[in-house]
Amino acid sequence: MNRPLISIVNSSTFGKHFREHISTLEKFADIQHVTVPADVDADALAEKIKDSDGIIASVTPRFIRKTLEQCTKLKLLARHGIGCDNVDLVAATELGIQVSRVKGIVEREAVAEYAVALLMAASRLLPQGSQAVKNSQWASRSHMVGMELRGKTIGIIGLGNIGSRSAEILSNGFKANIIASDPYIDKERFRQFNATDVSLEELISKSNAILFHCPLTNETRRMLSKAQFDAMQKSAVIVNTCRGELVAEDDLYEALQHGPLGAYATDVVEGEPIDGNHRLAKLNNTIITPHLGGYSWESLYGMGQTCVDDMVSVLQNDGIGGELANPEVLRNHR
C-alpha cells in the first residue's frame, strides 16, 4: 500500500520547535515542505502539491478552486491556525476535501495577551522610547507622553473566543470601560465579560482604543475606512491581530498622517509579508510585527498537535478532522 503524501505549505513553524509532530506523521506518511510566494499562480501551486493526500497550510498562499481541482487525491487541508479565509471552502466542499482548523481555545490566551501587549506598547510609546535610547537620544523622552488604560473606554470588535479574553484582561486588570460590537453574540455573554453591547458606530465614536477580534469576511472586509476614521476620538489607538484587510489601507494611512488616529499597532498587514519599505512601516505612529500573535510555546504546540491529530484521523484512520471549517462536506460526501 502506498504511503500518503503530506505537504507542509509555507509554514515556518510546524515541526520546527516540536520535532515530535513531524516524527508522528513520518510513521505513516511521506512529508514534503513546499515554500511558495504568497501570490503564487494557481497552476504553479497545484504543480507542487497535486499529489498530496493531506496539506498543512499556513496563512498563505490562497487555495482557490483552480488549484484544488488539480489536487485529485487530497482528502484533508489542515490550517495551521484559526482563520480559513485563504481557502475556497465552497470549492473544497464540492470536491469532498475536509478543511480543518485549530480550535479557537488553542490560540485564545496567546493572541489576547499579544493584543493587549500591542495596546500597551502603542499607548505608552514603548518602541519609540527603546529606539531613542539606541539612538543616544535619552533627552527626547519629554516628547513621549503616553495614555494610561485605567478608566479608558476600549472598544472590542468581536466578543468571541479571543475578544472575550481581551475584555477580561482589560476590564479586570486595568479597570477599563469595555464596550463591544458583535451581532452574533447573545446579551448574556456581554454581561459575562463586563462589556456593554453597542453598535459599531457608537463603538467607533466613543472608544479611546479599538481592538479587532473578528474574522475576515465579506461583511468585515474594509469595515474601517475614511468615514469611520473621521468619527473616531482624537488620538485613538487601533490594535489589529486579525487580518490587514479589515481596514482600508489608503484611508488608514491618511488618518495616521493627518489625524485623528493616534496610533496603529498591528500584527497583520494586507499583502503580508512586507518589509521596511512599506508605507505603514515608515510612519512613526505605527507598530508592525510579523504575525506573531499565536507564537507562544503553548499555542504553537497546540496548533501543531491539532494538525497532527487531524492528519492521523483522516489519512490513517479514514475519519474526520476535529474542527471542520466546512462540515457540509460530511453530508455531501459520505
Convert the chain into a string of H (helix), E (strand) and C (coil). CCCCEEEEECCCCCCCCCHHHHHHHHCCCEEEEECCCCCCCHHHHHHHHCCCCEEEECCCCCECHHHHCCCCCCCEEEECCCCCCCECHHHHHHCCCEEECCCHHHHHHHHHHHHHHHHHHHHCCHHHHHHHHHCCCHHHHHHCCCCCCCCCEEEEECCCHHHHHHHHHHHHHHCCEEEEECCCCCHHHHHHCCEEECCHHHHHHHCCEEEECCCCCCCCCCCECHHHHHCCCCCCEEEECCCHHHECHHHHHHHHHHCCCCEEEECCCCCCCCCCCCCCCCCCCEEECCCCCCCCHHHHHHHHHHHHHHHHHHHHCCCCCCCECCCHHHHHCC
Range of the domain at 14: 5-104+296-332
Q: What is the CB-side half-sphere exposure of residue 214 using CA atoms within 13 A?
A: 27
pLDDT of residue 323: 95
pLDDT at residue 1 greater than cutoff 80? no
* Angle formed at CA 224 by CA 199 and CA 99, multiple of 5 degrees: 90
pLDDT of residue 31: 98
List, for residues 150-207, the tens digit of each pLDDT value: 999 999 999 999 999 999 999 999 999 999 999 999 999 999 999 999 999 999 999 9
Residue range 98-122: average pLDDT?
97
243, 269 Cβ separation under 8 angstroms: no
In whole angstroms, give the CA distance from residue 88 to residue 319. 22
List, for residues 176-187, the tens digit of each pLDDT value: 999 999 999 999
List, for residues 30-68, the tens digit of each pLDDT value: 999 999 999 999 999 999 999 999 999 999 999 999 999
59 and 173 share one domain: no
122 and 139 share one domain: yes
305 and 248 share one domain: no
89 and 184 share one domain: no
67 and 119 share one domain: no
Neighbours of 16 (CB within 10 A): 12
| Number of domain units in the chain | 2
pLDDT at residue 334 greater than cutoff 50? no
Closest by Cα among 157, 166, 294 to 219: 157
Amino acid symbol at 68: L
Handedness of CA 57, 63, 66, 72 (dihedral sign): positive
pLDDT at residue 332 greater than cutoff 90? no
258 and 304 share one domain: no
249 and 301 share one domain: no
pLDDT at residue 333 greater than cutoff 60? no
pLDDT band at 305; cut points 50, 70, 90? very high
List the beta bridge partners of residue 179. 155, 196
Its pTM stands at 0.90
The catalytic residue among 124, 272, 278, 328 is 272
235 and 171 share one domain: yes
The catalytic residue among 21, 79, 108, 291 is 291
The catalytic residue among 243, 278, 298, 328 is 243
Q: What is the separation of C-alpha 64 from the centre of its chain, rounded to a whole number of angstroms? A: 19
113 and 87 share one domain: no
pLDDT of residue 15: 94
Distance (Å) of CA 62 to CA 75, 89, 99, 244:
17, 11, 13, 15
Could you confirm whether 291 is annotated as catalytic?
yes
Could you confirm whether 272 is annotated as catalytic?
yes
* Angle formed at CA 263 by CA 256 and CA 129, multiple of 5 degrees: 120
Cis-peptide into 290, omega within 30 deg: no
pLDDT of residue 239: 98
pLDDT band at 331; cut points 50, 70, 90? confident
99 and 20 share one domain: yes
- The CATH number that applies at residue 247 is 3.40.50.720
Residues above pLDDT 70, as percent of the chain? 99
pLDDT averaged over every residue in the chain: 96
302 and 278 share one domain: no
174 and 315 share one domain: no
